[in-house]
Each structure stands twice: as structure tokens, then as C-alpha cells.
Structure 1
Amino acid sequence: MVTFRPIDVPVDIDRDSARRAAAEELSDPKYRDARPNFLQEVGQWLGDRLEELLNSLSSDTPGGIFGVLLVVVLLIVLVVVIRLRTGKIARTSRAGGAVFRGQRKSADDYRRSAGEAAAAGRFDDAVRDRFRAVVRALEERALLDTRSGRTADEAAAEAGLLLPNVADRLRQGARLFDDVHYGGREGTEAAYQALTELDERCRRERPVAMVAS
């Protein structure tokens, strides 16, 4: 008969150290910057698990050490999930979608539908259509060519060359559009107002002359 005996794991960490490590990791600003409702759900679940594990930890038994290791694994999982939701991978996936799909409307039509959506409290639609109004107006002024498949980032970068005074605002507007339309974030009144101001600013700006190299 084979008898298995517990083997000491060479991890030198006690209950207080584990609690401090968990608190320090979860206090990182990147967790506070992610979507509040998502973090509340994940944080609540992890908090319950961490509380159960930390209450059962003991540095005198192998089980306590394995509990610490499980805490570390849970923290790693949280880091990976947050990175996928808010990090470079998420930004890359959001940036790949086109501004227009199907038949385009006029800039005024997009402005009108955006205003109606905002008045009804549908700020997701309001953000989408107001940014589309920005891009469509630039196409109508021949500052952008009418091209299918152009992403929000591409539109902002191309228009920013001709309208350098609003280049930063265009990039910010593209980010708002991508976050709502492709990133699953909720549109807000503040985001809609920012895009409305961007639209008005772009309409007043005169393009700079491009010098051929």
C-alpha cells in the first residue's frame, strides 16, 4: 500500500502578509479605472472567496500554504480579466470596427437622430450618431474621401492632418465612439455633449494647406 505524506511547500508567507498582498494588488488604479458595475461583481465574488480563504489560513499547516497559493492564483485571474477588459488587447479589438455600415445618411440626418436619442435618454445611440455626423460632415466637405470600412481612429487621424487644431479632440471622439459602439460601454450625456462640441468645432475650423513632399 502506498501512503502519501504531505510535502512542505517552500513558501514563506503568513496570514497577515497574504492579506496585505491582496489589499495592495486590488488597490492598483487600473482596477478603479475599469467599468464600475463589472468590478463590483468581480470584486464581490473575489472578496467572498478571499475572506473564506484568509479566515482558514494557517502558517503551521500545509493546507494554509496551499490556501495562500490559491489566493495568488485568484489575483492573477483578476489581473488577466482586467487587462482583457481595459488594456491594450481590449483597445485593439475595439479599434477595428468601421464607423459606417450600409448606406450613409447626411450629416444633418445623423445630428437629428442623435439629438432625438439624447432627448429620449438613449445616449448609446446619441454618441454613435453624433460621431457619425462628425465624420460624415468631413466627407461632405471633401476633407475625407467617402470610403467604406474606415475606422473611427483612421477618420480621426486623417482629418487631424487637415484640422490640426482639433486633432486631439478628434482622437478623443473616436475613442468615445469605439468604447460605446464596439467596447460595450454605456453612452453618457457628457460623452454626447463632448461630441456635439467637437462637431461644432470641426464645422468652424478651416483646413490647413498640405504641402507635397
Structure 2
Amino acid sequence: MTGAGGATGTTRPIRAGDDIPVDVSRVPAREAAQHELSDPKYHEHDPNLLQRGIDRFWEWVGDLLDGAAGSAPGGPLGLVVIALCLTGLGAALWWRLGTPRRTVFQGRSVLGDGTRSAEEHRAAAEEHAAAHRWSQAVQERMRALVRSLEDRTVLDPRPGRTADEAATDAGRLLPGHAGPLRAAARVFDDVTYGGRTADEAAYARLRALDQDLVEAAPLLSPGPARGTAR
């Protein structure tokens, strides 16, 4: 069969089920693919926003560690050694300094509910000191000091008085010992409520202060000025 222009060939009708090659340019094809992939059915099992954030965080940590391992002396092994050294240093500081505390020591009586005399507190303090129980020795010596000041009427007996209040009140009448009294109150609070540990030097200072206060004469409050009429 001869067609137009002298070309000879056989023509075949195109059926509906036949595959027809379609020449689509690159940009429309990419847009069509993006539109198809935006269908929610393709994202039913995707991680949620939180999970994606966590995954990105761990990727960042991994990259950071890889970079540190590359720059650390000895590579990954050197990084492990450095990490162990830092961990040991942190543990040593924690053990030496104790747990950080921000407790405000208020409303806690230095004498508690006890009725011991000053001499009984001193005897208990010396017993603890002989056994090197310095924290307990500091506590008992501070209680002896406050009880002694009450017995001498330097301080008026007042239930619930804290160590800091006792030091402040006594310091007004014994100004020469105001500084050591405040220091003694801080040591007592740190040991009793702050989880600190006293040592022999702390007890020795408190013991010397207690002995000095036994002979210290308090200032008398000045009375009203008197004038003579002429």
C-alpha cells in the first residue's frame, strides 16, 4: 500500500489498552512526582515531629563525637581516656565539696527541745571529740555556748532561737566576739542542716570561743541621759 509522498508502509490502529510512550519534560515530571508523593497515604508511618527532632539531635551528637575523636590525641581511644579523666575529676570534686545546697536555715532551734545544762553539753562535746566525731562535737559545743549565755543572762531564754539569731543577739552585747560568733553559727548550720562535715580545727575554734565567752563581760545598755536643772 502506497501512502502520501510515496512512502510505503502498513498502518495499525491504536487500541485503548496499548501503552503509548509520553515524552514529558523534566520540570513537569518533577512537579508531578512531588504532587503524587504529597498524598497523605505515603506518610502514614513517618516519625512525628518530636521523633524527628530527637533523631536530628542524636545525629548532631554523633557528628560532634566523631569530630572530637578525630581531633583528640590518640583518636577514639584518647577521647575515652579524656572522658574518664573528666568523670573522675567531677566525682572527686563532688566528694570533696558535697552536694550543692541552697537551704535557708530558719526557724530551727539551736538547742532543740533539750534541757541539758551548759556543762552537760560541754561534756558531750568532749566525748565526741575524743572519738574524732567532729561534727557532733561542734554541735554540742555550740549548744553549750548558747546555754551558757542564757545562764549568764547575756541572752534571755527563748524557745526556738536559731544559732544565727543567738550569734546576732550575743554579738550586740559582746561586740569583740561578734565575728567569731557569726562564724560559729555558720559552722553549726552547715554541719547540722547543710550536710557538711566538721574537722578538728573547726571544733578547736568553737571550743576556744566558748571558753573566752565564759569570762567576757557584756556591755550594759546605756540608760536615759539625766540632766540637772539649774
TM value normalised by structure 1: 0.60
| Pairwise CA RMSD | 3.2
Judged with a 3 Å threshold, the aligned counterparts in structure 2 of structure 1 residues 38 and 142 are, in CA distance, closer, same or farther, namely closer
Residue type of the partner of 2:210?
D
Could you tell me which runs of 5 or more consecutive residues in structure 1 were left unpaired when the two chains were aligned: 17-25, 27-31, 40-81
Residue type of the partner of 1:195?
L
Residue type of the partner of 2:219?
V
Q: Percent identity, aligned pairs only?
A: 41
Rg larger in 1 or in 2?
A: 2
Which residue of structure 1 aligns with residue 207 of structure 2? 196
Tell me, in whole angstroms, the C-alpha distance in 2 between the residues paired with 1:209 and 1:176. 28
Judged with a 3 Å threshold, the aligned counterparts in structure 2 of structure 1 residues 148 and 36 are, in CA distance, closer, same or farther, namely same
Residue 211 (structure 1) shift: 2.9
Number of residue pairs matched by the alignment: 151
* 2:167–2:185 contact (8 Å) kept in structure 1: yes
Greater RCO, 1 or 2 (C-alpha within 8 Å, sep 6+):
1
Tell me, in whole angstroms, the C-alpha distance in 2 between the residues paired with 1:35 and 1:177. 20
Tell me, in whole angstroms, the C-alpha distance in 1 between the residues paired with 2:168 and 2:131. 32
Could you tell me which runs of 5 or more consecutive residues in structure 2 were left unpaired when the two chains were aligned: 1-41, 58-63, 69-85, 87-91, 225-230
Judged with a 3 Å threshold, the aligned counterparts in structure 2 of structure 1 residues 97 and 106 are, in CA distance, closer, same or farther, namely same
Trace 1:1-213 onto structure 2 (pairs within 5 A).
Answer: 1-2=42-43, 36=96, 38=98, 82=100, 85=101, 89-90=102-103, 92=104, 94-211=105-222
* 1:95–1:178 contact (8 Å) kept in structure 2: no
Residue 176 (structure 1) shift: 0.8
SS of 1:156 mapped into structure 2: helix
Which residue of structure 1 aligns with residue 17 of structure 2? none
Residue type of the partner of 2:165?
E
Tell me, in whole angstroms, the C-alpha distance in 2 between the residues paired with 1:35 and 1:95. 27
* 1:138–1:144 contact (8 Å) kept in structure 2: yes
SS of 2:98 mapped into structure 1: helix
Residue 96 (structure 1) shift: 3.6
Judged with a 3 Å threshold, the aligned counterparts in structure 2 of structure 1 residues 162 and 34 are, in CA distance, closer, same or farther, namely farther
Q: Cα deviations across residues 51-76 of structure 1 (Å, max 9, x unaligned)?
A: xxxxxxxxxxxxxxxxxxxxxxxxxx
Judged with a 3 Å threshold, the aligned counterparts in structure 2 of structure 1 residues 35 and 131 are, in CA distance, closer, same or farther, namely farther
Tell me, in whole angstroms, the C-alpha distance in 2 between the residues paired with 1:159 and 1:101. 18
Q: Cα deviations across residues 11-40 of structure 1 (Å, max 9, x unaligned)?
A: xxx868xxxxxxxxx9xxxxx99761637x
Tell me, in whole angstroms, the C-alpha distance in 1 between the residues paired with 2:199 and 2:223. 41
* 1:118–1:126 contact (8 Å) kept in structure 2: yes
* 1:95–1:152 contact (8 Å) kept in structure 2: no
Tell me, in whole angstroms, the C-alpha distance in 1 between the residues paired with 2:184 and 2:115. 19
Kindly report structure 1 stretches of 4+ aligned residues shifted beyond 4 Å.
Answer: 3-9, 32-35
